[in-house]
Amino acid sequence: MRMLSAISVALSALLVGALPIAPAVAAQAREDSSKTLDALAACRDISADAARLACFDTTAGQIARARQAGDLLALDRGKVIERKRQQFGLADAGQSPLGGGEADRVTRVTEVQTTITTAKPASYARFALQLANGMVWETIEPLSLQPRPGTAITIRQVGFGGFKASITGERAILVKRRR
């Protein structure tokens, strides 16, 4: 997690090609982009094969050294979204691991859909819900019936940092993430 919070400016250049973003944001990303990545893109424009190969070799070496030194971080959007999905509902999940802005907006996770594997009674018609994705949530509001294993559940982020669960056959209720 610390690695994600220390993202370098070079990430903007990687995300420009990987994510659809507004023109103003794209212009800002180009200004912040890594010169090494710009040099790599410029290698494609060289017409002579030997010169183009030499350019690619030189630039690839610079990128490898920058990654090894920690000056350039490359993240896979799918892995970022999956990590955000795993941390959905936890206290520190609201932090912007990509530094905010468009990159965080397009990888934002606002709901999780899965099934209930176990529902253990807590107090006053409340339940601890173990989900198929490994998450454990607790109902804040009472339920009329204990949810059965295999029941579909959708948990959505609502205003003021809260979460509501829609369990098949029940009204939407407030929940909080335990782990």
Q: Which residues contact 2 (CB under 8 A, 6 or more apart)?
A: none
* Residues 53-67, mean pLDDT to the nearest whole number: 88
Specify the pLDDT at position 52. Answer: 92
Reading the block at residue 17, the tokens are: 């090609």
> How many CB atoms within 10 Å of residue 105?
13
Specify the pLDDT at position 173. Answer: 87
Q: Could you tell me the residue ranges of all domains in the chain?
A: 26-69, 76-109, 110-178
Q: What's the CA gap between 131 and 118, in Å, rounded?
A: 7
* Residues 96-110, mean pLDDT to the nearest whole number: 67
pLDDT confidence of 68, banded at 50, 70, 90?
Answer: confident
Q: Which helix (H) or strand (E) holds 97?
A: none
- Does this model's pTM top 0.75? My answer is no
Q: Among 147, 148, 129, which residue's Cα sits nearest to residue 139?
A: 129
Specify the pLDDT at position 101. Answer: 61
Q: What is the pLDDT of residues 7-43, one digit of tens each?
A: 333 333 333 344 443 444 344 444 545 677 888 889 9
Assess whether pLDDT exceeds 70 at residue 92. no
pLDDT confidence of 100, banded at 50, 70, 90?
Answer: low
CATH number for 110-178: choose from 2.60.40, 1.10.3470, 2.40.50, 3.30.230. 2.40.50
The torsion angle over the Cα atoms of residues 55, 58, 64 and 67, rounded to 10 degrees, is -80
pLDDT confidence of 90, banded at 50, 70, 90?
Answer: low
pLDDT confidence of 97, banded at 50, 70, 90?
Answer: low
pLDDT confidence of 95, banded at 50, 70, 90?
Answer: low
Q: Which residues contact 13 (CB under 8 A, 6 or more apart)?
A: 29, 30, 32, 33, 34, 37, 38
Q: What is the pLDDT of residues 126-147, one digit of tens each?
A: 888 999 999 998 998 888 888 8
pLDDT confidence of 71, banded at 50, 70, 90?
Answer: confident
Strands 152-157 and 127-131 turn out to be unpaired
Q: What number of residues does the chain have?
A: 179
